[in-house]
Amino acid sequence: MLYEGDHSFLVARRDIAMGEEITCDYNINITGGTAWPCNCGAGRCRGTTVGDFFRLPLDIQREYRPLLAEWFVRAYRDRLRALGLG
């Protein structure tokens, strides 16, 4: 997710082939959300959406860290630093 002013955009992390289904991970830039089962069918699906960036496995948090919105990083800087992601 890319934030510019009052707008937000989904940005692909790689080229998308015509007809390819795209998915997004709802656990980026969120804390305290509701968990629900996920059946998206993506190869890397964890089977659940935890609704909280900080409840993701640490390797996924590390992978997603460069993708976090600046406002999220500012709001949770201390928590990110405690995880070595600051």
Q: Which residues bind Zn ion (CB under 5 A)?
A: 38, 40, 45
CB of 3 to Zn ion, least distance (A): 23
Which DSSP letter does residue 36 get? E
CB of 25 to Zn ion, least distance (A): 8
Query: Are the beta carbons of 57 and 74 closer than 8 angstroms?
Result: no
Query: Are the beta carbons of 47 and 38 closer than 8 angstroms?
Result: yes
Residue with smaller CB distance to Zn ion, 30 or 40: 40
CB of 6 to Zn ion, least distance (A): 29
